[in-house]
Structure 1
């Protein structure tokens, strides 16, 4: 059985490899998820009902938590200190619009409230399905609708921004400097790994949803930002891109292994409503970006990319190509993902508990 699980992950990863060849930065995640879903549909008993063991999902979440925590460095703190009012407005509006989208999906489709909110939350395809699974939402629906939102954002935002203002930049060919092995950077990687493990235990004690992700992310962010501020420069860990590829593969394979055909029955209306609400969400973000750019003098292109409910990598790449303020875009995107992952799951659980109490009271009164 252990060999079967290894083989399942390896074959699923081939799907990620193929989609990554298109240049899509989230290709490893989407391709692996699609391949794992296909195997689960055609061979539903290959891994049993439990699918890939949960520790694979936890390992991927821990890696993702360290990745997000590392991004809270001196440049992000400087941007936040300078433009904190604009960033807070953007974060609040993003959360409000995502909640409104969730309400629309919940009220006008057959999707339950918890699944609806997780499906529309702009917390990232890597994070939200994993958290949704732990709190009892329909992971299949969350994954499908989050994937659709990512594709819509990737296709719509860059095209619209490029049509409105296009300034090609020589920086478009620039690549992120590769992670070079040094003993100091390797030592800092070990420190962050231990920090993330400690953060997991704290998060578990505080009853965080997905403590491997949330606890690890928070503890890493505190140590990364605090130490960098103390020494006066950004502490660099040995963190090659392959580590994040591994995270995407194990998270996607773990989630995809639990998919069954019956999960998708009757989703036509749900997908249609989610599509409409997502397009309206993106349109509203464009309007807000325009208002913020006029009120603050921030370039519309930069505000639009920072507002966009997409991934950090996709929006950062577009910012570089269009010569927007990539540092500001990355800062807002990272802070929003962290805010969404921290704030929304407890709110969703509270609303879900309130709805269940309301239903119980209605049945009792009848």
Structure 2
């Protein structure tokens, strides 16, 4: 990394952190991630010509903070939660149906209404597997700029609409907007070396066995094993969780470089159709499952919301539900989505018309 790249990265992160803090003051959902994404995305869209040529946010820095988030979520997995997995089989079955129906619906929206070519429409419509969708879409010849924008807008829309919708339903903020956190009160940095060791080790193993989103799921599984076994305690302070969200949000926002206003407007209303349809479908699934299981409707709804694993975990916490239950559903959704599009890519290649 050059001195110029390091200085620019530091400046972008500082501006994004300030925007994230402002977002927290007005109680936006997932404020440090969403605020930083808005800040860096605005810079990428409107000031890209003033940035150094070919500047990219350093992925190694982003990876370290993704590892921290993964460990944080993994520490919420308990032995009691694992023993309850058989009781989730019905909701996992419904989630399987949700993934296939949602992907098919999204493909039709992006292909027929949006006018995207086949690979761009197919990989823009996946209800999960962000990085895998981008990688496979690029290999298939999709428009990477449009694909990136649609996938990020899906996540932004979900982490915004679901907490805001539930906040209006309950008449009070939920999730991170209510001050909920997955970090432990009073935690300091004494466990950080162990957190990084376990997290990076989990990421390495996850990458070797081809886990989807291995930067997140590998550390999450490794931390879960350590926590459930009682081998170590892995507390993390809130400010470090906030900083992790700022770095991740900043890196995501910088991917909007090169996009213009008309493309973003079209992507925005297509996102409203796509996410609105998926949330309606998820609501129907949640309503059906409330008749067949003892799981509350709101917990099921956030378990089916297609995006924002961390924010959905925070919403679950504000509803006095174990965020790891919600996270397990989202990890299953991501794994299933990656398997589905990988099989489709292998046996029915998406070629441009």
Q: What TM-score comes out, normalization by structure 2 length?
A: 0.78
In the alignment, structure 1 residue 283 sits paired with structure 2 residue 275 = no
Counterparts of 1:65 and 1:313, CA distance in 2: 9
**2:7 aligns to what?**
3
RMSD: 3.6
Indicate whether 1:326 and 2:321 are aligned.
Answer: yes
Partners in 2 of 1:351 and 1:325 — Cα distance? 39
Aligned to 2:209: 206
Runs of 5+ unmatched residues, structure 2? 139-143, 173-177
Q: After TM superposition, give the deviation of residue 288 of structure 1 in Å.
A: 2.1
Distance 1:238 1:156, change over 3 A: closer
Normalization by structure 1: what TM-score? 0.75
**Per-residue displacement from partner, 1:151-186 (whole Å, max 9, x unpaired)?**
2222334445x49xx9xxxxx99887843348xx94
Alignment deviations for residues 198-223 of structure 1 (CA, whole Å, 9 cap, x no partner):
22222333345543323323323333
Tell me whether 1:341 sits opposite 2:338 in the alignment.
no
How far apart are the structure 1 equivalents of 2:117 and 2:233?
Answer: 43
Residues 94 and 131 from structure 1, CA distance in 2 versus in 1: closer, same or farther, beyond 3 angstroms? same
Q: Deviations over 1:52-71 (max 9, x none)?
A: 22212212221222122222
**1:302-321 deviation per Cα after TM superposition (whole angstroms, max 9, x unaligned):** 44444444646655666676
Residue 156, structure 1, aligned to residue 165, structure 2: yes
Q: 1:257 to 1:96 in 2, by over 3 A?
A: same
Q: Is the 8 A contact 1:302 1:325 kept in 2?
A: no
Mapped to 1, the partners of 2:9 and 2:314 lie a distance apart of 35
Runs of at least 5 residues in structure 1 that lack an aligned partner in the other structure:
167-171
Greater mean deviation of Cα atoms: 83-92 or 60-69:
83-92
- Structure 2: how far apart are the matches of 1:195 and 1:353? 34
Written as runs of structure 1 = structure 2, the 5 A alignment for 1:5-44 is: 5-44=9-48
> What is the alpha-carbon distance in structure 1 between the residues aligned to residue 261 and residue 151 of structure 2?
11
- Which is worse superposed, 102-111 or 61-70? 102-111
How many aligned residue pairs are there? 335
The superposition leaves residues 71-127 of structure 1 with CA deviations (integer Å, 9 ceiling, x where unpaired) of 22234224435x23344235324433442343233422244666656655555xxxx
**3-state SS, counterpart of residue 226 of structure 2:** helix
* Closer, same or farther: CA 47–217 of 1 in aligned 2, 3 Å: farther
